[in-house]
Amino acid sequence: MKKKLMLTVVFMVFLTVLSSCAFLTPSRIEQMLATDERTYQDNTTIKQKDNTVTISLDEYEKLLRFKDAVSIYDFIQEYYYKAPDEEKLIDYTCKGLMAGLDDPYSFYYTPEEYKKMWEEDEGNYAGIGVMINANYKTQICTISRVFKGSPAESCGVLRGDILYRVGEDLLVTAENLDEAVKIMRGEPGTSVDVTFLRNDEEITFTINREMISVNQIESKMLNDQVGYIALYQFAGQCDKDFEVALNGLLKENATGIIIDLRDNGGGWVEQARYIADLFMDGGELCYLVFKDGTEEHNYYITHDGKADVKIVLLVNEMSASSSEILTGALRDCADAIIVGTKTFGKGIVQDVIPVGDRGAGFQLTVAEYFTPHGFAVHETGITPDVIVQLPEEDNGMYDFADLKNDIQLQKALEVAMKQLQ
């Protein structure tokens, strides 16, 4: 789940360039601390006078941990054969710091990336019109959705295609997917070459970039009793749109609801809580466990007042993060029946945090979550009550609510009807 909460933080003194202060070399700091005139303030106070800086001992010791990086910076400034890009040095320093965690879910956003991340979340951007699921275990990036009326749909891109190459030479993996997306985005009216793998064959399309408006929700009645809601991502205003869709189905006398979370890689936890609250009485969506072992049970709370419907959840191996949070909560607290295949197993929560004054930010894994009844999800996943594997020849490339070809949806409807008997 990439994203949860906006906080304001003060970063390390080593990264003081982020707050428009000057770098201090180790030698100058050592001289400063060697003088008898130094004073120490509290951990967050820095005093500057007559070209000297007085900091606390804690801040000084923190700064010394990064003296090698500062030395490299000094050497670049002194000896690099041309003027370096200062902003790029800052960005890559921060990227390297986050990369040192060896956590694919914790990373730094440059100001440009941070802005684009919010644009993507709002669902309006210039691109080709696909949703991509990145599997960090296999490094494979799969098209999970082709937006209706998009340039990708017009060219013939299909759900289930593997994103293989962007441009002439970028071979796409989960690690460099952000770079691939950056290339596929651009000015409306321009084009980009994108190569996909379909049945082990390469297919290349030249796709025009256009403004894309993303709808995260689709819904319809499958028969006179069961409504169907596909939730593609926890982003934008999907929670409010979900409620509108649910109310519409209830007005059509739905007494059973199938929620399709297949290929939904997650997003905002708060939106999962909002949706769960529509089907749960007072309780908790999940609880968090932090690195010191403390538990937080009062963060994502649901309230009394729920829809009187039977629930079936459709999941697969790409249902992750907030999808698994919602699935676990509705299984534990709303008697939901789960149909499909075992979920991805991303049971950790990230904060998205702005940093500095250039519009940058970072995403950091802060806790592991557990379902209301205490079940772990991380690296375990959720096993459905009714397992339905797709046949080997079925790559899931069918339309919304395709009861003729979608055998997992067929089974979900069968289960829903049995609940209503």
3-state secondary structure 70-117: HHHHHHHHHHCCCCCCHHHHHHHHHHHHHHCCCCCCCEEECHHHHHHH
Q: Are 384 and 415 in contact (CB under 8 A)?
A: no
Residues listed for the chain: 421
Q: Measure the CA angle with vertex 167, ends 163 and 171; round to 5°.
A: 50
Positive or negative, the Cα torsion across 152, 153, 157, 162? positive
Q: Note the CATH number of domain 125-213.
A: 2.30.42.10
Residues of the chain under the 70 pLDDT cut? 1-50, 123, 395, 397
CATH class for the domain made up of 217-419: alpha beta
The pLDDT of residue 212 is 87
Cα 43 to Cα 7, 62, 91, 376: the distances in Å are 19, 11, 25, 37
Structure tokens at 53: 């800086």
At a CB cut-off of 8 Å and minimum separation 6, what does 100 contact?
none
The residue among 23, 94, 89 whose CA lies nearest residue 53 is: 23
Do the strands 107-109 and 360-370 form a parallel or antiparallel pair, or are they unpaired? Answer: antiparallel
The pLDDT of residue 45 is 52
What is the Cα–Cα distance from 148 to 243, expressed in whole angstroms?
22
Query: Helices (H), strands (E): how many in the chain?
Result: 11, 23
Structure tokens at 354: 């702005």
The pLDDT of residue 36 is 39
Q: Is 395 left (phi over 0), alpha (psi -120 to 50) or beta?
A: alpha
What is the Cα–Cα distance from 402 to 227, expressed in whole angstroms?
14
The residue among 273, 222, 278 whose CA lies nearest residue 409 is: 222
The pLDDT of residue 50 is 67
Beta bridge partners of 258: 228, 312
What is the Cα–Cα distance from 222 to 257, expressed in whole angstroms?
10
What is the Cα–Cα distance from 159 to 403, expressed in whole angstroms?
17
What is the Cα–Cα distance from 417 to 106, expressed in whole angstroms?
42
What is the Cα–Cα distance from 121 to 236, expressed in whole angstroms?
5
Cα 357 to Cα 15, 18, 94, 330, 379: the distances in Å are 12, 7, 14, 41, 36
Please give the model's pTM, rounded to 2 decimal places: 0.76
Structure tokens at 315: 């999941």
What is the Cα–Cα distance from 256 to 415, expressed in whole angstroms?
10
Domains of the chain, residue spans: 13-113, 125-213, 217-419
Report pLDDT digits (tens) over 359-401. Answer: 999 999 999 999 999 999 999 999 999 999 998 878 676 789 9
Report pLDDT digits (tens) over 281-294. Answer: 999 999 999 999 99
Structure tokens at 314: 């459709």
The residue among 351, 346, 353, 347 whose CA lies nearest residue 286 is: 347
What is the Cα–Cα distance from 256 to 394, expressed in whole angstroms?
27
The pLDDT of residue 145 is 85
The pLDDT of residue 384 is 98
Residue 209 three-state SS:
coil
CA distance between the termini of the chain? 37
The pLDDT of residue 49 is 58
